[in-house]
């Protein structure tokens, strides 16, 4: 097994409530996620409530990829703990949202867990997470 952790923060120049509402609106995902979300379906519980399981479907290289999103804890608009499972890969994301003078500071603590060491590069994962957060920031600030 292989795992690594990291933290990424970004400031979004909008109020925290606005940021959180858009970030967790599945219909908005197509506007900023890459690959774009094709569809989603609630499989268990209630959206954004502990125990909720959502099937996220992405199209990647002409193939449908199903990823499970599990809400572990939710105290929005302050924080949320989610677990994403794609095959045997687990990705734990704990996001915190704090008011700043300019808007909202979004900090995400990320843990990846892989069934084996296939040479996964922590820096590549960090770069992708940061790119995704910056893409969301630009999307939000240009609505």
Q: How confident is the model at residue 143 (pLDDT cuts 50, 70, 90)?
A: confident
> What is the per-residue pLDDT for 123?
97
C-alpha pair distances (Å), 83 with each of 50, 63, 67, 91:
11, 22, 10, 6
Find the mean pLDDT for residues 104-122: 97
pLDDT at 11 over 90: yes
* Cβ proximity of 99 and 14 under 8 Å: no
| Mean pLDDT of the chain, nearest integer | 96
pLDDT at 100 over 90: yes
Q: Determine the 3-state secondary structure of 79 from DSSP.
A: strand
Q: Determine the 3-state secondary structure of 134 from DSSP.
A: helix
Domain 2-37+69-141: CATH superfamily, name plus number: START domain (3.30.530.20)
> What is the per-residue pLDDT for 34?
86
- Determine if the peptide bond prior to 28 is cis (ω within 30°): no
Residue range 54-71, pLDDT digits in tens: 999 999 888 999 999 999
> What is the per-residue pLDDT for 114?
98
DSSP H helices, the chain, are 16-23, 122-141
pTM greater than the 0.85 cutoff:
yes
Find the mean pLDDT for residues 79-103: 98
Partner residues linked to 97 by β-bridges: 106
């Amino acid at each position: 097994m292989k795992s690594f952790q990291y933290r990424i923060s970004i400031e979004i120049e909008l109020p925290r409530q606005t940021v959180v509402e858009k970030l967790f609106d599945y219909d908005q995902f197509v506007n900023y996620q890459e690959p774009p979300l094709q569809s989603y379906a609630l499989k268990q519980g209630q959206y954004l409530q502990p125990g909720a399981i959502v099937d996220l479907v992405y199209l990647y290289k002409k193939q449908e990829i199903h990823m499970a999103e599990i809400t572990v804890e939710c105290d929005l608009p302050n924080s949320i703990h989610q677990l994403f499972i794609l095959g045997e890969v687990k990705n734990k994301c704990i996001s915190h949202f704090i008011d700043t003078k300019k808007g909202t500071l979004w900090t995400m603590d990320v843990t990846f867990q892989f069934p084996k060491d296939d040479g996964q590069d922590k820096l590549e994962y960090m770069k992708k997470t940061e790119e995704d957060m910056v893409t969301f920031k630009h999307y939000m600030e240009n609505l």
